Structure 1
Amino acid sequence: MKGIARLLSLAAVLVLVVGLGIVLSGTPEAPVSPGVSASSTAATAPAASSPPVSPTTATGSVVAGSGLEAVAASSLPPEARETLALIARGGPYPYSRDGAVFSNFERLLPRKPGGYYKEFTVRTPGESDRGARRIVGGGSGEKYYTPDHYESFLLILEGQ
């Protein structure tokens, strides 16, 4: 009986680890826009992506209380500005995961209650999946840009 209980415990732990791995992996997915296929998107996208936003293109100011640098929306890659416009219009969004809850597991954004943050894909030309770039929006309207799949964030200064 002890052997069966131990085996069931190990199986439960394995299921939890696999489930957590799936959730945290950020599995890429294809766009779900009607009438747009992945092959047509890849064929029309330019080969080179926009340069990443770096501290030299940011305002250089650190936002009080967050410890994050700020970047003018006008300094973001064009695809990020397109995503900001989609967010302002309320969609429609090209990826099924757009608008999903961002849990801030990395703890790089200010800590807020669960469900406060939502994530949106920033298209990366030449990528066949969602790529690494995202905009994360907060419940109070603030938005953050990550060019590197949540490794770093910049506070977006909209209207600048």
Structure 2
Amino acid sequence: MRNRSILPLLLAALVVLALVALGGTGLLGQQTERTTPETGASRTATPGGAATSAAAKQSPPRRSANPSSLPEIREAALPAEGRRVLGLIREGGPFQYSQDDQVFGNFEQVLPVRNRGYYREYTVPTPGEPDRGARRIVAGDGGEKYYTSDHYATFKYIAEGS
């Protein structure tokens, strides 16, 4: 008789363990949001355990604090080509140039110093330029993005969503 009273407790424990194993899914299957350490991208876990990128939902970007001492530029103040590239970064591409989405070394150390591989760079086309031009967006794994119009000599932190 005593073994039967333990069975419901064991089943309840298994359910709790299964929910914990799903990682981002909370009790009762509510959605929780977390940031992936690899990309800094926000991902939402669903009750089925599948994760979808926040960019895929097309929600406006959250404005985060400037993690640098660099001046800011509002997203709306970027050149049109920069806003287009910013949208492509949020969507994961495709990018126009083979050099895009490659590691940016930060050799000039204008950006906050991070481990190699933290930053990735993207070309912002310059109308009338025969090559890639000097404009770039550099994105950090923490989600922060910086704009340079002078090929890495100076940067501005991009205040997204503004």
Short-chain TM bin:
0.5 to 0.7
For this pair of structures, how many residues does the alignment match?
98
**TM-score (normalizing by structure 2):** 0.59
Matches within 5 A, 1:67-78: 67-78=69-80
TM-aligned CA deviation for residue 65 of structure 1: 5.8
Deviations 1:85-137 (A, max 9, x none): 11011000000000010010000000100100000000000011100000000
Give deviations 1:63-104, integer Å, cap 9, x for gaps.
766220011000010000010011011000000000010010
Q: Distance in 2 between matches of 1:77 and 1:156?
A: 12
Once the two structures are superposed, the pairs formed by residues 5-154 of structure 1 within 5 Å of their partners are 66-154=68-156
Q: 1:65 to 1:99 in 2, by over 3 A?
A: closer
Give distance in 1, aligned partners of 2:143 and 2:149: 20
- When normalised by structure 1's length, the TM-score is 0.59
Residues 148 and 69 of structure 1: CA distance in aligned 2, closer, same or farther (over 3 Å): same
Q: 3-state SS of the aligned residue for 1:144?
A: strand
- SS at structure 1 position matched to 2:95: coil
User: % of aligned pairs identical?
Assistant: 55
3-state DSSP class of the match of 2:137?
A: strand
By how many angstroms is 1:145 displaced?
0.0
- In structure 2, the partner of 1:37 is none
**Unpaired segments ≥5 residues, structure 1:** 1-62
CA deviations on 1:24-72 (whole Å, 9 max, x unpaired) are: xxxxxxxxxxxxxxxxxxxxxxxxxxxxxxxxxxxxxxx7662200110
- For 1:147, give the aligned amino acid: S
1:101 counterpart SS class: strand
Please tell me the residue identity of whatever aligns with 1:129. Answer: D
Find the aligned partners of 1:64 and 1:85 in 2 and give their Cα distance. 19
Runs of 4+ in 1 over 3 A off after TM superposition: none
Computed over aligned residues only, the root mean square deviation of the Cα atoms, in angstroms, reads 1.2
Q: Which runs of 5+ in 2 are unaligned?
A: 1-64
Which structure shows the higher strand fraction?
2
Q: Distance in 1 between matches of 2:67 and 2:77?
A: 23
Amino acid at match of 2:77: S
